[in-house]
Amino acid sequence: MTDIPETNQVTGTQASPETAETLTFTLEEGQSGRADKVLCTLLDISRNRSRELIEQGRVLLQDTPVKPKTDLKPGQTITVHIPPEQSLDVLPEDMDLDIVYEDSDIIVINKPSGLVVHPAPGHVTGTLVNGLLAHCTDLSGINGVMRPGIVHRIDKDTSGLLVVAKNDLAHQSLADQLAKKTAHREYRAIVHHPFPHTHGTINAPIGRDEKDRQSMAVTAKNAKPAVTHFEVLENFKNYAYVLCRLETGRTHQIRVHMKYIGHPVAGDPKYGPRKTLESHGQLLHASALELDHPRTGKHMRFEAPLEPEFAAILHDLETEVIQ
Protein backbone atom coordinates (compact mmCIF):
# COMPACT_ATOMS: atom_id res chain seq x y z
CA MET A 1 0.00 0.00 0.00
CA THR A 2 1.31 3.45 -0.91
CA ASP A 3 2.12 5.79 1.97
CA ILE A 4 0.22 9.06 1.60
CA PRO A 5 0.93 12.20 3.66
CA GLU A 6 -1.71 13.01 6.26
CA THR A 7 -2.44 16.28 4.45
CA ASN A 8 -3.91 14.46 1.44
CA GLN A 9 -7.61 15.25 1.23
CA VAL A 10 -10.31 16.40 -1.13
CA THR A 11 -11.80 19.69 -0.03
CA GLY A 12 -14.57 21.66 -1.64
CA THR A 13 -18.22 22.50 -1.85
CA GLN A 14 -20.96 20.85 -3.83
CA ALA A 15 -22.33 24.25 -4.70
CA SER A 16 -21.01 27.76 -4.15
CA PRO A 17 -23.13 30.90 -3.86
CA GLU A 18 -22.41 31.44 -7.54
CA THR A 19 -23.89 28.04 -8.41
CA ALA A 20 -26.88 28.19 -6.05
CA GLU A 21 -30.04 27.99 -8.13
CA THR A 22 -33.39 29.73 -8.38
CA LEU A 23 -35.81 27.61 -10.38
CA THR A 24 -39.25 28.58 -11.68
CA PHE A 25 -41.90 26.06 -12.71
CA THR A 26 -45.29 26.57 -14.33
CA LEU A 27 -47.29 23.53 -13.32
CA GLU A 28 -48.78 21.36 -16.04
CA GLU A 29 -51.56 18.78 -16.06
CA GLY A 30 -50.66 15.98 -13.67
CA GLN A 31 -48.54 18.29 -11.51
CA SER A 32 -51.10 19.07 -8.85
CA GLY A 33 -51.75 18.24 -5.21
CA ARG A 34 -49.79 18.73 -1.99
CA ALA A 35 -46.82 21.03 -2.41
CA ASP A 36 -44.35 18.63 -0.76
CA LYS A 37 -45.33 15.81 -3.17
CA VAL A 38 -45.31 18.04 -6.25
CA LEU A 39 -41.83 19.32 -5.37
CA CYS A 40 -40.54 15.74 -5.05
CA THR A 41 -41.53 15.09 -8.66
CA LEU A 42 -40.30 18.41 -10.04
CA LEU A 43 -36.84 18.16 -8.46
CA ASP A 44 -36.54 14.35 -8.14
CA ILE A 45 -35.81 14.65 -4.42
CA SER A 46 -36.99 12.87 -1.26
CA ARG A 47 -40.06 13.92 0.69
CA ASN A 48 -37.84 14.94 3.62
CA ARG A 49 -35.74 17.21 1.42
CA SER A 50 -38.90 18.66 -0.12
CA ARG A 51 -40.35 19.51 3.27
CA GLU A 52 -37.03 20.95 4.38
CA LEU A 53 -36.99 23.41 1.47
CA ILE A 54 -40.63 24.35 2.10
CA GLU A 55 -40.15 24.84 5.86
CA GLN A 56 -37.15 27.07 5.16
CA GLY A 57 -39.43 29.33 3.10
CA ARG A 58 -37.61 28.57 -0.15
CA VAL A 59 -40.68 27.53 -2.14
CA LEU A 60 -42.92 30.42 -3.22
CA LEU A 61 -46.31 30.63 -4.88
CA GLN A 62 -46.84 34.17 -6.20
CA ASP A 63 -44.14 35.45 -3.79
CA THR A 64 -45.81 33.76 -0.81
CA PRO A 65 -44.12 30.81 0.94
CA VAL A 66 -46.11 27.60 0.60
CA LYS A 67 -46.76 25.00 3.28
CA PRO A 68 -46.29 21.25 2.80
CA LYS A 69 -50.06 20.78 2.48
CA THR A 70 -50.63 23.74 0.15
CA ASP A 71 -52.82 22.55 -2.74
CA LEU A 72 -51.06 23.34 -6.01
CA LYS A 73 -52.91 23.37 -9.33
CA PRO A 74 -51.97 23.31 -13.04
CA GLY A 75 -51.22 26.77 -14.41
CA GLN A 76 -49.77 28.08 -11.17
CA THR A 77 -46.15 29.20 -11.08
CA ILE A 78 -43.85 28.33 -8.19
CA THR A 79 -40.31 29.51 -7.49
CA VAL A 80 -37.76 27.36 -5.67
CA HIS A 81 -34.61 28.83 -4.14
CA ILE A 82 -32.09 26.01 -3.75
CA PRO A 83 -29.36 27.02 -1.26
CA PRO A 84 -25.66 26.37 -1.76
CA GLU A 85 -24.57 23.26 0.09
CA GLN A 86 -22.11 23.29 2.96
CA SER A 87 -18.38 22.87 2.50
CA LEU A 88 -17.28 19.27 2.73
CA ASP A 89 -13.91 17.78 3.58
CA VAL A 90 -13.45 14.22 2.39
CA LEU A 91 -10.45 12.87 4.28
CA PRO A 92 -8.32 9.79 3.65
CA GLU A 93 -8.81 6.84 5.99
CA ASP A 94 -6.62 3.76 6.23
CA MET A 95 -8.68 0.83 4.98
CA ASP A 96 -7.92 -2.77 4.08
CA LEU A 97 -8.96 -2.63 0.43
CA ASP A 98 -9.32 -5.83 -1.60
CA ILE A 99 -7.57 -4.64 -4.78
CA VAL A 100 -8.11 -7.07 -7.66
CA TYR A 101 -6.13 -5.03 -10.18
CA GLU A 102 -4.32 -1.69 -10.27
CA ASP A 103 -2.21 0.34 -12.69
CA SER A 104 -1.64 4.03 -13.38
CA ASP A 105 -5.13 4.43 -14.91
CA ILE A 106 -7.59 2.23 -13.04
CA ILE A 107 -8.19 0.32 -9.82
CA VAL A 108 -10.57 -2.63 -9.64
CA ILE A 109 -11.90 -3.18 -6.12
CA ASN A 110 -13.75 -6.14 -4.62
CA LYS A 111 -16.04 -4.21 -2.27
CA PRO A 112 -17.31 -6.00 0.84
CA SER A 113 -20.96 -5.95 1.79
CA GLY A 114 -21.69 -3.16 4.27
CA LEU A 115 -19.27 -0.61 2.80
CA VAL A 116 -20.73 2.60 1.32
CA VAL A 117 -19.06 3.59 -1.96
CA HIS A 118 -18.95 7.39 -1.70
CA PRO A 119 -19.61 10.12 0.89
CA ALA A 120 -22.81 12.12 1.04
CA PRO A 121 -23.78 15.24 3.00
CA GLY A 122 -23.84 14.29 6.66
CA HIS A 123 -21.89 11.09 5.99
CA VAL A 124 -18.36 11.86 4.84
CA THR A 125 -16.37 9.14 6.62
CA GLY A 126 -16.01 5.38 6.47
CA THR A 127 -16.65 5.05 2.72
CA LEU A 128 -14.71 3.39 -0.07
CA VAL A 129 -13.70 6.84 -1.36
CA ASN A 130 -12.09 7.62 2.01
CA GLY A 131 -10.09 4.41 1.73
CA LEU A 132 -9.09 5.16 -1.86
CA LEU A 133 -7.81 8.62 -0.88
CA ALA A 134 -5.51 6.97 1.67
CA HIS A 135 -4.29 4.50 -0.93
CA CYS A 136 -3.51 6.83 -3.83
CA THR A 137 -3.32 10.53 -4.65
CA ASP A 138 -4.48 10.33 -8.26
CA LEU A 139 -8.23 9.95 -8.72
CA SER A 140 -10.34 11.39 -11.50
CA GLY A 141 -12.06 14.64 -10.58
CA ILE A 142 -14.90 14.43 -13.10
CA ASN A 143 -17.52 13.55 -10.47
CA GLY A 144 -16.43 16.24 -8.00
CA VAL A 145 -15.25 16.16 -4.42
CA MET A 146 -17.76 13.59 -3.18
CA ARG A 147 -17.19 10.92 -5.81
CA PRO A 148 -13.59 11.20 -7.06
CA GLY A 149 -12.83 8.41 -9.52
CA ILE A 150 -16.23 6.76 -9.16
CA VAL A 151 -17.50 5.70 -12.58
CA HIS A 152 -20.28 3.41 -11.34
CA ARG A 153 -21.40 2.28 -7.92
CA ILE A 154 -22.91 -0.69 -6.13
CA ASP A 155 -25.21 -0.54 -3.14
CA LYS A 156 -23.89 -0.59 0.43
CA ASP A 157 -25.03 -4.17 1.14
CA THR A 158 -24.14 -5.50 -2.30
CA SER A 159 -20.65 -7.01 -2.52
CA GLY A 160 -18.33 -7.32 -5.46
CA LEU A 161 -16.45 -5.59 -8.24
CA LEU A 162 -16.31 -1.98 -9.32
CA VAL A 163 -13.72 -0.04 -11.28
CA VAL A 164 -12.33 3.33 -10.20
CA ALA A 165 -10.67 5.83 -12.54
CA LYS A 166 -7.34 7.42 -11.58
CA ASN A 167 -7.50 10.18 -14.18
CA ASP A 168 -9.99 11.97 -16.39
CA LEU A 169 -8.91 10.08 -19.54
CA ALA A 170 -9.70 6.76 -17.86
CA HIS A 171 -12.94 8.10 -16.38
CA GLN A 172 -14.26 9.33 -19.72
CA SER A 173 -13.32 6.10 -21.48
CA LEU A 174 -14.99 3.91 -18.85
CA ALA A 175 -18.11 6.09 -18.78
CA ASP A 176 -18.34 5.86 -22.58
CA GLN A 177 -18.00 2.07 -22.44
CA LEU A 178 -20.83 1.83 -19.93
CA ALA A 179 -23.00 4.16 -22.02
CA LYS A 180 -22.29 2.23 -25.23
CA LYS A 181 -22.77 -1.12 -23.45
CA THR A 182 -19.30 -2.37 -24.36
CA ALA A 183 -18.40 -2.80 -20.68
CA HIS A 184 -20.24 -5.70 -19.04
CA ARG A 185 -21.22 -6.41 -15.44
CA GLU A 186 -22.44 -9.73 -14.06
CA TYR A 187 -24.13 -10.32 -10.72
CA ARG A 188 -25.08 -13.43 -8.81
CA ALA A 189 -28.13 -13.44 -6.58
CA ILE A 190 -30.30 -15.71 -4.50
CA VAL A 191 -33.94 -14.83 -5.15
CA HIS A 192 -37.29 -16.00 -3.84
CA HIS A 193 -39.18 -18.81 -5.62
CA PRO A 194 -37.87 -21.25 -8.24
CA PHE A 195 -38.31 -20.49 -11.95
CA PRO A 196 -40.28 -22.49 -14.53
CA HIS A 197 -37.80 -21.43 -17.24
CA THR A 198 -34.01 -21.21 -17.55
CA HIS A 199 -33.46 -17.63 -18.68
CA GLY A 200 -35.16 -14.35 -19.50
CA THR A 201 -34.90 -10.62 -20.13
CA ILE A 202 -36.60 -7.91 -18.08
CA ASN A 203 -37.15 -4.76 -20.12
CA ALA A 204 -39.01 -2.35 -17.83
CA PRO A 205 -38.31 1.36 -17.13
CA ILE A 206 -37.24 2.38 -13.63
CA GLY A 207 -37.93 5.66 -11.83
CA ARG A 208 -38.69 7.00 -8.37
CA ASP A 209 -41.50 5.20 -6.56
CA GLU A 210 -44.35 7.73 -6.39
CA LYS A 211 -45.45 6.36 -3.01
CA ASP A 212 -41.96 6.17 -1.49
CA ARG A 213 -39.40 8.64 -2.81
CA GLN A 214 -36.57 6.71 -1.10
CA SER A 215 -37.26 3.70 -3.32
CA MET A 216 -37.20 2.94 -7.03
CA ALA A 217 -39.90 1.14 -8.98
CA VAL A 218 -40.92 -0.01 -12.43
CA THR A 219 -43.00 2.91 -13.65
CA ALA A 220 -43.81 4.80 -16.83
CA LYS A 221 -43.62 8.18 -15.08
CA ASN A 222 -40.28 10.04 -15.05
CA ALA A 223 -38.49 6.75 -15.68
CA LYS A 224 -35.46 5.66 -17.69
CA PRO A 225 -35.11 2.50 -19.79
CA ALA A 226 -33.74 -0.47 -17.88
CA VAL A 227 -32.81 -3.94 -19.18
CA THR A 228 -31.64 -6.94 -17.14
CA HIS A 229 -30.83 -10.36 -18.62
CA PHE A 230 -30.90 -13.34 -16.26
CA GLU A 231 -30.00 -17.01 -16.30
CA VAL A 232 -31.20 -19.53 -13.71
CA LEU A 233 -28.20 -21.41 -12.37
CA GLU A 234 -30.08 -23.57 -9.84
CA ASN A 235 -33.62 -23.94 -8.55
CA PHE A 236 -34.27 -24.78 -4.90
CA LYS A 237 -37.47 -25.56 -2.99
CA ASN A 238 -38.28 -21.94 -2.17
CA TYR A 239 -35.44 -20.00 -3.82
CA ALA A 240 -33.32 -19.82 -6.95
CA TYR A 241 -29.70 -18.94 -7.72
CA VAL A 242 -29.43 -16.64 -10.73
CA LEU A 243 -26.84 -14.88 -12.87
CA CYS A 244 -27.84 -11.37 -13.95
CA ARG A 245 -26.23 -9.31 -16.70
CA LEU A 246 -26.85 -5.58 -16.76
CA GLU A 247 -27.51 -3.86 -20.07
CA THR A 248 -28.25 -0.57 -18.28
CA GLY A 249 -27.22 0.70 -14.85
CA ARG A 250 -30.20 2.21 -13.02
CA THR A 251 -30.29 2.68 -9.26
CA HIS A 252 -31.23 -0.64 -7.55
CA GLN A 253 -31.88 -2.12 -11.01
CA ILE A 254 -31.55 -5.83 -10.27
CA ARG A 255 -33.37 -5.53 -6.94
CA VAL A 256 -36.28 -3.63 -8.55
CA HIS A 257 -36.49 -5.84 -11.63
CA MET A 258 -36.43 -9.11 -9.71
CA LYS A 259 -39.19 -7.83 -7.42
CA TYR A 260 -41.17 -6.76 -10.50
CA ILE A 261 -41.21 -10.32 -11.92
CA GLY A 262 -42.11 -11.85 -8.55
CA HIS A 263 -38.63 -13.07 -7.57
CA PRO A 264 -37.28 -10.48 -5.08
CA VAL A 265 -33.68 -10.81 -3.95
CA ALA A 266 -33.43 -12.77 -0.70
CA GLY A 267 -32.43 -10.71 2.33
CA ASP A 268 -33.35 -7.43 0.63
CA PRO A 269 -34.71 -5.14 3.40
CA LYS A 270 -36.16 -2.59 0.95
CA TYR A 271 -37.67 -4.63 -1.87
CA GLY A 272 -38.00 -8.14 -0.45
CA PRO A 273 -40.47 -9.86 1.91
CA ARG A 274 -39.89 -9.92 5.66
CA LYS A 275 -39.82 -13.70 5.75
CA THR A 276 -36.57 -14.45 3.99
CA LEU A 277 -33.12 -15.94 4.40
CA GLU A 278 -31.15 -14.63 7.35
CA SER A 279 -28.33 -12.42 6.08
CA HIS A 280 -26.76 -9.00 6.54
CA GLY A 281 -28.55 -7.46 3.56
CA GLN A 282 -29.50 -8.55 0.06
CA LEU A 283 -27.80 -11.65 -1.30
CA LEU A 284 -26.45 -9.90 -4.38
CA HIS A 285 -22.83 -10.02 -5.55
CA ALA A 286 -21.11 -8.25 -8.47
CA SER A 287 -19.18 -11.31 -9.59
CA ALA A 288 -17.61 -10.26 -12.92
CA LEU A 289 -16.58 -7.12 -14.76
CA GLU A 290 -15.43 -6.80 -18.37
CA LEU A 291 -13.96 -3.68 -19.96
CA ASP A 292 -11.41 -2.41 -22.45
CA HIS A 293 -8.42 -0.77 -20.81
CA PRO A 294 -8.84 2.99 -21.30
CA ARG A 295 -5.25 3.54 -22.47
CA THR A 296 -4.16 0.30 -24.16
CA GLY A 297 -7.55 -0.91 -25.42
CA LYS A 298 -6.80 -4.40 -24.10
CA HIS A 299 -9.94 -6.38 -23.21
CA MET A 300 -9.93 -7.31 -19.53
CA ARG A 301 -12.15 -9.55 -17.41
CA PHE A 302 -12.16 -9.64 -13.62
CA GLU A 303 -13.96 -12.06 -11.30
CA ALA A 304 -14.56 -12.08 -7.56
CA PRO A 305 -15.68 -15.06 -5.43
CA LEU A 306 -18.80 -14.98 -3.28
CA GLU A 307 -18.43 -13.64 0.24
CA PRO A 308 -18.37 -16.33 2.98
CA GLU A 309 -21.92 -15.62 4.24
CA PHE A 310 -23.36 -15.78 0.71
CA ALA A 311 -21.41 -18.96 -0.08
CA ALA A 312 -22.53 -20.64 3.16
CA ILE A 313 -26.21 -19.85 2.53
CA LEU A 314 -25.91 -21.14 -1.05
CA HIS A 315 -24.25 -24.32 0.21
CA ASP A 316 -27.13 -24.96 2.62
CA LEU A 317 -29.71 -24.39 -0.13
CA GLU A 318 -27.99 -26.85 -2.46
CA THR A 319 -29.39 -29.71 -0.39
CA GLU A 320 -32.80 -28.69 -1.80
CA VAL A 321 -31.87 -28.55 -5.51
CA ILE A 322 -34.81 -29.22 -7.82
CA GLN A 323 -33.69 -31.43 -10.68
Contact indicator for 128, 117 with CB cutoff of 8 Å: yes
Distance of CA 266 to the CA centre of its chain: 18
Buried b (16+ CB within 10 A) or exposed e, 195-226: beeeeeebebbbbbeeeebeebbbeeeebeeb
155 is catalytic: yes
Are 20 and 35 in contact, with CB atoms under 8 Å apart?
no
Phi, psi of 154 (to 5 degrees): -130, 155
Crossing angle (nearest 10°) for helices 35-43 and 47-55 = 110
The dihedral over CA atoms of 107, 113, 117, 121, expressed in degrees to the nearest 10, equals -160
Distance separating alpha carbons of residues 160 and 177, to the nearest angstrom: 19
Catalytic residue among 155, 168, 212, 292: 155
User: Under the phi-then-psi rule, with left for phi > 0, alpha for psi from -120 to 50, and beta for the rest, what region is 6?
Assistant: alpha
* Alpha carbon of residue 8 to chain centroid: 27
d(CA 21, CA 237): 54
Residue 316 φ/ψ, nearest 5 degrees: -65, -40
Enumerate residues 6+ apart whose C-beta is below 8 A from 66: 35, 54, 59, 60, 72, 78
Q: Which residues are catalytic?
A: 155
